[in-house]
Amino acid sequence: MATDSYKIFNCFNRKFTITEPGPPSDVKQAFSDFTAGASSMSSDHLRRFLTEHQAEMDCTPSDSDRILKQWRKHDQDQKSSTVTADSPGLTLDEFFRFLFLDDFNHPLKSQVHHDMNAPLSHYFIYTGHNSYLTGNQLSSDSSDVPIIKALQRGVRVIELDLWPNSTKDDIVVVHGRTLTSPVSLIQCLKSIKEYAFVQSHYPVIITLEDHLTPDLQAKLAEMATQIFGELLYYPQTDSLTEFPTPESLKGRILISTKPPKEYLESKDNEKELDDEGSTTPDLTNELETDDRQSAPEYKRLITIHAGKPKGDVQDELKVVGDVRRLSLSEQALEKASDSYGDDIVRFTQKNILRVYPKGTRLNSSNYKPHIGWTYGAQMVALNMQGYGKSLWFMEGMFRANGGCGYVKKPEFLIQKGSHNEVFDPKRTLPVKKILTVKVYMGNGWSTDFSQTDFDTYSPPDFYAKVGIVGVPGDIGKKKTRVISNNWFPVWDEEFEFPLAVPELALLRIEVRDDDKHGKDDFCGQTCLPVSELKSGFRSVPLYDEKGEKLKSVKLLMRFQFR
């Protein structure tokens, strides 16, 4: 990305020579300030820049030496520089290229840094809904493939719907009373074991929708015990007064479902409604139940006891006795929050609340996850098999804390106030911080895309959208001007976002190609948790619509708080 380099594009015999831009004035000024006018940035200059400008307060002289050596090796590997091992430092052009590398200047910390020794109820947990479905909720295939993909992304809560097979002697995973095809439970459990900890070492929770007879519950218990072995965690007592911590459960797998007795008692209410509360055709034989004592070995394996409201939701939200999990649809949560939001927050301070999509989302669309997070809901379950803004928000939230799938909730969602009051996301609050975002430029599209991907006859017309998603008072949108006919857009624009609750805010960034004759083409997006943004110049990688990281596309930005 040297300042004198260029590329020639030939689109249907029209040639465009595009010169890559040089460092913006802010970068030039920072280089001059921290080198005191010298022609290169030494290791000591770099340390001062990292501590004073980038707020990397823990950076030591040995750290800056190591970073400089890593940079030199990287630059040599890329064959983009003639820098040698004994080079005195970084030239301005090399410093500019250094800033554009997210390996060195990522906007977020890459390590787990939250306190992981609090009860599970104190964390937002990366949660999937109907994790086995490959597509829509009505007729797609069930498979272990989406389960594997979810675990590879860092999802920590996998949902399985369990039903007897056609001969009622084995267990399958399928969205009951629909046209979805089944997959064997044993295949799903084996895949969970294999991929549970490839992305994160923190616990995987399997939430079960159990439609099994006592004999099959016993078979499930035997299957889970044999497959998971010592990975399977379950308490030594029948109940818990407080959940264990993520740290104590590293490398373990937990089961969460309704205890068998509660399951049998609820059968009479299950005839008309499926597990999501939607009316879908009954395409299976009605499950026959009997009055036997349910399998004790199965009940023993349930760490997180779960349930759904049988009557008034407010009664279910009372904080009494043992800790438990309650499931509410997105609609039920919205309705409950209008009448007794305080009760929801109090419940989630000690217990776990799972929110799931309404049953009419047959195409596997999603709701906005903040509906649950702002009330402290730990398991905001989304359909992971699609894409769209809701999933982008989910991915953004769980880029926090090193991407481990557990994000510590803000203290105001954990602790009661001085007069026993709790956080109310609908209340207008004073501004706590102002986030300043400067969008300098972007590059990488000419590498990741073909010459005609955006415009057939000319280079793209890029613009960037920058916005905040959070509590109602913190929502805001900004937009840069359009840079016409350029693969290397330079915007150099700054925006301010006043934030009352920065702890729950996400910064959403999206780049599009302006199309005057149709829909603007998508060119990359990302969401970043505001509470974890690093100050200073940052290289921000962008992702495609399905959440896969684009190979080369990134933005040079600057973040400041005041």
* Residue 72, CA distances (Å) to 62, 67, 385, 527, 537 in order: 15, 9, 41, 30, 20
* Residue 447, CA distances (Å) to 7, 454, 487, 488, 547 in order: 11, 13, 10, 11, 19
Interatomic CA distance for residues 264 and 277, integer angstroms: 18
Residue 174 has which token pair?
């399928």
**Looking up tokens 């940035």, which residue turns up?**
41
Amino acid at 88: P
Helices (H), 100-184: 102-105, 145-153
CA atoms within 13 A on the CB side of 300: 10
3-state secondary structure of 328: strand
Give the other-Cβ count within 10 Å of 13's Cβ. 6
Catalytic residues, by residue number, are: 129, 175
In the chain, what is the straight-line distance between the N-terminal and C-terminal CA atoms, in Å?
A: 33
User: Which residues have a Cβ under 8 Å from the Cβ of 385 and sit 6 or more positions away?
Assistant: 133, 134, 135, 140, 146, 364
Residue 373 has which token pair?
């997070």
Specify whether the backbone of 238 is left (phi greater than 0), alpha (psi in -120 to 50) or beta: alpha
CB 211 within 8 A of CB 178: no
Pairing of strands 490-499, 433-443: antiparallel
Distance of CA 207 to the CA centre of its chain: 19
Interatomic CA distance for residues 513 and 525, integer angstroms: 12
508, β-bridge pairs = 467, 527
Give the other-Cβ count within 10 Å of 181's Cβ. 15
Amino acid at 447: T
DSSP annotation of 31: H
